[in-house]
Amino acid sequence: MANRELDEESLQELYGWVDAIPLSRPKKNITRDFSDGVLAAEVVKFYFPKMVEMHNYVPANSTQQKLSNWGHLNRKVLNKLNFSIPEDMIRKIVQCTPGMVELVLLPLRQKIEEKQKQSKVSLHRCVPQFPRFQNRPARPSQRVGGG
């Protein structure tokens, strides 16, 4: 799937979604900014704070460290979202191949949204259902302090 297959509207929506997330570095060039995997980890952490331990992700310029960051993210975090990035795609992201990070962020966003919906459904299942109280006037024998 090439970047040109993502229409302009989808890309703008994706960029707006990323822009709405407070990240540790300003976003100047999405291809370069996400190449070390740190901002991708921050995106997931924004939605699932307990899922990502940021000390495991080192801002990097070296290919080796970038691959390490992405590999860790893929194994330890994305796996929990039922999402995996193929090794060849990770390598292209690390090498700053234009359009590759968008091809990862788009399905990542979908997986995040799916997980959020599942979490909400799970929360609703855990809430005990109590009978509703009806607003009925008390009968005379039940009034407090009355006779």
pLDDT digits (tens, 9 = 90+) for 24-51: 999 899 999 999 999 999 999 999 999 9
Of 115, 45, 118, 46, which is closest to residue 83 (Cα–Cα)?
115
CB 31 within 8 A of CB 96: yes
Listed in sequence order, the DSSP H helices in 1-147 are 8-19, 30-33, 38-47, 63-72, 87-94, 100-126
What's the pLDDT score for residue 1? 41
- What domains can you pick out in the chain, each with its CATH number? 30-113 (1.10.418.10)
- Calpha distance 111→116 (Å, rounded): 9
Residue (of 22, 28, 42, 49) closest to 105 by Cα position: 42
- The CA distance from 122 to 93, in Å, is 34
Give the pLDDT mean for 132-139.
Answer: 54
pLDDT at 3 over 50: no
